[in-house]
Structure 1
Amino acid sequence: MARSKFLQKYRVDALELLGAQKENESFITRDFQIQVKENGEWKDIHSVTDNKENLYYANMDTPVVGDNFRL
């Protein structure tokens, strides 16, 4: 699990995940959630299932503001 705690809050409105690039297809992250910590609790803000791309990109339906995110 990857986590990032920033010194200030950021508005997130898109996601770009670069995986194994030209590595074996079995190394691609297929299922994952992006979460933000709000009031001490982790909240899912974007879920992906059955990803088949080394470079995954998505616009967020609703922008999120936070300083603590995890994959």
Structure 2
Amino acid sequence: MRYTKLPGTSIDVSKICLGTMTWGEQNTEAEGHAQLDYAIEQGVNFIDTAELYSVPARAETYGSTERIIG
């Protein structure tokens, strides 16, 4: 894995980011865990989350991505 150092810090961030927008809507919790496990095994330490995930935004799945990651 290649990393980039965040300017002004000693933090190395992977060049590849794991997107999580489908977790809780198009992917199950188990699939999200499997994807996260694989990414970490490959050296990924950059995970994209957002307040509106999962996509498409629905009241029933709002916050699912954060719950699965947590």
Q: TM bucket by the smaller chain?
A: under 0.3
- The structure carrying a bigger helix percent of its residues is 2
Larger RCO (CA within 8 A; separation ≥ 6): 1
- The structure carrying a bigger strand percent of its residues is 1
TM-score by length of 1: 0.26
